[in-house]
Amino acid sequence: MFRILKKDAGSRARAGVIETPHGIVETPAYVVVGTHAKVRTLTAADLRATGAQIVIANTYHLWRTLGEKGLAAFPGLHAAMGWDRAIMTDSGGFQVFSMGIAREHGTGKVAPPEKETPVSEYADILDNIGAADAGTTQQQGIVRVTDDGAVFTDGGVRYWLDAEKSIRIQQQLGADIIIAFDEPTSPRHDYAYTKESLIRTHAWALRSLKAKTSNQLLYGVVQGGSHEDLRKQSARFIASLPFDGIAIGGSYSNSFGSTRERTIQELEWSVPHLPEDRPRHLLGIGLVEDIYAGVAAGIDTFDCVVPTREARHGSLWTSRGRIDIKRSIYRDDTSVPDTGCGCIVCARMKTKKGLLHALFKSRNPEAGRLATIHNISFFQDLVSRIRASILAGRFAEERHLVMEGRAGR
């Protein structure tokens, strides 16, 4: 299922392959967020053109949007997306956090509207969660956690989600890789609550394993907040179970009040206790610096909303740094977004910055599409280069060149 092809001599970085029913995922890999069985603004053909190998869809939001009847009739994510490559689903555990204590602690943005909403209007909600600044105001959470599961009170209606239901939903969705139900904690939780939550997450991991009846790959989740002993304990416990892979919940986010250095420290505590022969996924983290640091720490796959969310707002990632194409300085710019980029927007269509600027200013839907294609392509090319550097025995050199280039821009 997972094979390591080459390890880096100076770090824990490794290049490998994950075998799934819908093809091989070459690692390190960047997983594209497709919340509602769709990457917003793109067709399946657009997505394939970016070089994306794998997409992650959101279990909670699909369940709430489809309903039980819709879920029963759902043809599966691959058919719904027209996507013949690998797909992951999360467990719904992040929504336990983001719609609950994150709101009460002021560490996340708004939760979804308290009513059923059509898919077309609902698809951007996950992108918005966690996009606020650290100063987000406190709100009333709609989630209450028990040892058995979580209760969502949405629009006066109560919804129950537990390990067994999460696994059942993910099996009905038909992803290649699914994730055990867990409870992420807030950076503002104290040690006592984080320990209590970890015990709950470990119990849910056992229940998730027992509930699975499919041949999907199931990942367990390492939690433990920013506490060294809890992180090590969680890594050892999850590693002792027959999961096909390991996901790690990180606490770094612009809105969650932690730091990149803290997350890397959490990885240093966790990864040495994880088995070498299983893939490791870092949940919800994926800036350029994060990816290089994560790969060096031994992470194989990443998912993050940054490429798609920022594209729709006119922020383009380039080899020289991030640019806001809506700024007036690009109005008459006849150069492509990134001269060294091989994406279809830059290399094939040779789209000028001035044209992209005009499309965004006129709110033309094509603006978001072209920007999204470019951004996803950028991150796919980034991990491809990292993989090549590991295979060639020059990861440290590649990392240094990229980081120095970005620092000196």
Q: Which of 8, 90, 162, 176 is catalytic?
A: 90
Going by C-alpha positions, the residue among 275, 202, 187 that lies closest to residue 233 is: 202
Helices of type H across 31-151: 44-49, 59-73, 77-81, 93-96, 102-104, 119-122, 125-128
Strand 177-179 and strand 301-304: the pairing is unpaired
- Which amino acid belongs to residue 87? I
Q: Return the number of other C-beta atoms located less than 10 Å from residue 392's C-beta.
A: 12
Q: Residue 108: beta bridge partners?
A: none
Q: Which residue in this structure is represented by tokens 């053109």?
A: 49
Token output for 257:
């009040």
Token output for 114:
């308290």
Please state whether 88 falls in left (phi above 0), alpha (psi between -120 and 50) or beta: beta
90 is annotated as an active-site residue: yes
Buried residues in 154-183 as b, exposed as e (16+ CB within 10 A)? beeeebebbbbbbbbbbbbbbbbbbbbbbb
Residue by residue, DSSP assigns 313-367 as TTEEEETTEEEETTSGGGTT--S-S-TT--SIIIIIS---HHHHHHHHHTT-HHH
8 is annotated as an active-site residue: no
Q: Which of 182, 290, 303, 338 is catalytic?
A: 303
Q: CA 147 from chain center: how many Å?
A: 26
Going by C-alpha positions, the residue among 319, 260, 313 that lies closest to residue 284 is: 260
| Helix (DSSP H) and strand (DSSP E) numbers for the chain | 16, 16
Q: Is 116 helix (H, G, I), strand (E, B) or coil?
A: coil
DSSP annotation of 25 reads E
C-alpha–C-alpha distance, residues 180 and 375, integer Å: 30
Residues 6+ apart with CB under 8 A from 259: 252
- Which amino acid belongs to residue 14? R
Token output for 20:
């799934």
User: Which residues are tagged catalytic?
Assistant: 90, 303
